[in-house]
């Protein structure tokens, strides 16, 4: 159970870090301003980040399940 909760917290941390990095990159590369299209771009990058974190979580969960068997 400890390994599973550790994996969950790492996934949440990865998602938060990805969100902060993408926000900073989009914000600073676009003249320190946000408009509607920059928010749409950020949302697309976040959707990709969520998908990547989900894939990572699934692979780690499968590894953990294989260890338990």
Helices 36-68 and 2-29: crossing angle, nearest 10°?
A: 160
Confidence band of 1 (pLDDT split at 50, 70, 90)? low
More confident residue, 50 or 3: 50
Position 28 scores a pLDDT of 80
Distance of CA 15 to the CA centre of its chain: 3
Interval 13-25: pLDDT, tens:
888 888 888 878 8
Residue 29 belongs to domain spanning: 2-68
Instruction: Give the mean model confidence (pLDDT) for residues 26-49.
Output: 78
What is the number of domains present in the chain? 1
Interval 38-63: pLDDT, tens:
778 778 888 888 888 888 888 888 88
10 Å Cβ neighbour count for 68? 7
Q: What is the three-class DSSP state of 43?
A: helix
Buried b (16+ CB within 10 A) or exposed e, 23-35: eeeeeeeeeeeee
């Amino acid at each position: 159970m400890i390994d599973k909760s550790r994996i969950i917290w790492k996934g949440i941390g990865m998602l938060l870090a990805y969100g902060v990095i993408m926000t900073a990159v989009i914000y600073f590369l676009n003249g320190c301003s946000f408009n509607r299209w920059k928010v749409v771009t950020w949302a697309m990058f976040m959707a990709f980040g969520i998908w990547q974190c989900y894939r990572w979580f699934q692979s780690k969960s499968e590894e953990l399940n294989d260890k338990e068997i």
